């Protein structure tokens, strides 16, 4: 690692650790770094006539669509130096996307405080239990490991409060299989992900009611996490910080989320639905600005996640991509 890179990483680590810094200035430095070192990204920026010396604000940094991770390796270092790689689950596209990491230091530095701030704002201490399978290329599994979670295949009764981590689909499957436990007061849940491509879908409010019925955990102690393979930072709803169900998610100081009107490519008005565009400085070694395929709504100083925009809307008689794949 040369000096500039290590300085930048040190500065980011400090920022993630709580030191004050200027997001705009740092974002532009990270962009300049990535523009310099990632030829595919640089070519894309140049095609849009954007270069570091022409930027006046972080919002002008070009976003990389998530599907680009399926088609190429987007790194600012030689790929063979990667210490970890996370893969997308590939439920919606035939290819899987890969996110390579030169170091997990930034990922881990952001992961723990974000989780604590949203699930342990009350200062409680309890075991963390993961229902997410411990697989090598899953960013979610890595997150669970970083949080010190114990991986389990099934849930058992306990006298101590616990913090459960799992995907919405994991939990739904447990509930559908008839699991009923009365977990001690203070227990809490972090659930993540949707049901896309799964056989059964239910609404989030219906799922939250099931937590109460099957585990004795009230909806006010269930927190939704939004993370993705292509990012190094996670976003959580405010439920446990404010003490009532809230779908609002706020960014930590080192990230920003914009809601983009897909029709104009500009910011969607407050209250309108658009595509989430995420600026994540912890993505120093890949790309910091990601255009997701997830829809959300801008609310106050945060956003509400709605979930994955359907790949191709089946409208009447035209065959869509998914149906074609299954043909």
Partner 1 sequence: MSATPLQIQDAIRRARAARDFVQQHRRTEAVIEALAAAAKSWLPATSPWRAQAVERVPAASGFSPAMVHEAIDRIFGAITTESLAALLEREFGDRRVLDEFRPHGRGQARAMGVPVILHLLAGNVPPPAIHSILCGLLVRSGNVVRMSRRDPVFPRLFLESVQAADPDLSRCVELLEWPREETALTQAALARADAVIAHGDDSTIAALRRMSPPGAAFIGYGQKVSFAYVCREMMTAEQLPALAALAADDVSVYDQQGCLSPHVFYVEERGALGPRKFAAALAEAMAAFQARIPRGKLSVEEAAAVNTTRSGYEFRAASDRRVAVWSSQQPNDWVVIYEDNPSFEPSCLNRVVFVKPTDGEPRVLEGIARFASYISTVGVAPMSDRMQEFARQLAALGVHRVCPIGQMQRPPLWWFHDGKPNLMPLVRWTELG
Nearer to partner 1, 2 or 318 (CB): 318
Residue 8: HSE in the Cβ half-sphere, 13 Å Cα cutoff: 21
Nearer to partner 1, 240 or 276 (CB): 276
CA 78 remoteness from chain centre: 25
Residue with tokens 């849940």: 189
Q: How far is the CB of 172 from partner 1 (least distance, A)?
A: 21
Return the residues of window 17-76 that contact partner 1 according to CB under 8 A.
39-40, 43-44, 46-47, 63-65, 67-68, 71-72
* DSSP secondary structure letters along 276-313: EEEEEGGGTTS-SEEEEEEEEEEETTEEEEEEEPPSS-
Q: Which residues pair with 303 in a beta bridge?
A: 249, 298
Q: What is the CB neighbour count within 10 angstroms for residue 233?
A: 24
Q: How far is the CB of 86 from partner 1 (least distance, A)?
A: 20
Please work out the total of residues on this chain that contact partner 1, with binding judged by CB under 8 A. Answer: 42
Tokens encoding 84 = 């970890």
| Calculated CA dihedral for residues 303, 304, 306, 307, nearest 10 degrees | 60
Contact predicate 222/204, CB 8 Å: no
* DSSP secondary structure letters along 234-245: -EEBSHHHHTS-
Q: How far is the CB of 285 from partner 1 (least distance, A)?
A: 19
Stretch of 17-25, 79-87, 203-211, 309-317 lying at the interface with partner 1 (CB under 8 A): 309-317
Nearer to partner 1, 177 or 318 (CB): 318
Return the residues of window 246-265 that contact partner 1 according to CB under 8 A.
260-265
Q: How far is the CB of 294 from partner 1 (least distance, A)?
A: 9
The contact set with partner 1 (CB under 8 A) reads 39-40, 43-44, 46-47, 63-65, 67-68, 71-72, 260-265, 272-275, 291, 293, 295, 309-321, 323-324, 327
């Amino acid at each position: 690692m040369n000096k500039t890179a290590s300085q930048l990483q040190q500065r980011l680590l400090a920022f993630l650790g709580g030191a004050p810094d200027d997001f705009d200035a740092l974002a532009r430095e990270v962009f300049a770094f990535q523009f310099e070192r990632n030829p595919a990204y640089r070519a894309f920026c140049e095609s849009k006539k954007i270069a570091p010396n022409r930027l006046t604000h972080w919002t002008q940094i070009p976003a990389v669509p998530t599907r680009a991770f399926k088609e190429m390796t987007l790194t600012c270092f030689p790929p063979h130096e990667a210490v970890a790689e996370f893969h997308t689950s590939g439920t919606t596209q035939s290819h899987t996307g890969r996110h390579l990491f030169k170091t997990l230091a930034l990922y881990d530095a952001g992961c723990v405080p974000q989780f604590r701030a949203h699930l342990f704002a009350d200062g409680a201490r309890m075991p963390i239990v993961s229902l997410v399978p411990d697989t090598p290329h899953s960013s979610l599994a890595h997150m669970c490991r970083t949080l010190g979670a114990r991986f389990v295949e099934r849930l058992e009764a306990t006298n101590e409060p616990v913090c459960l981590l799992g995907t919405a689909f994991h939990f739904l499957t447990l509930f559908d299989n008839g699991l009923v436990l009365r977990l001690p007061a203070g227990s809490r849940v972090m659930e993540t992900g949707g049901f896309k491509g799964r056989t059964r879908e239910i609404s989030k409010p219906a799922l939250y009611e099931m937590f109460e019925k099957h585990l004795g955990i009230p909806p006010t102690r269930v927190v939704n996490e939004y993370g993705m393979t292509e990012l190094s930072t996670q976003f959580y709803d405010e439920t446990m910080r404010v003490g009532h169900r809230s779908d609002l998610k706020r960014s930590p100081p080192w990230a920003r989320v914009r809601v983009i009107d897909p029709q104009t490519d500009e910011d969607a008005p407050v209250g309108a639905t658009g595509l989430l565009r995420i600026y994540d400085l912890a993505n120093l070694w890949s790309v910091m600005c990601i255009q997701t395929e997830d829809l959300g709504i801008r609310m106050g100083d945060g956003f509400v996640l709605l979930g994955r925009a359907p790949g191709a809307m089946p409208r009447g008689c035209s065959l869509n991509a998914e149906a074609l794949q299954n043909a």
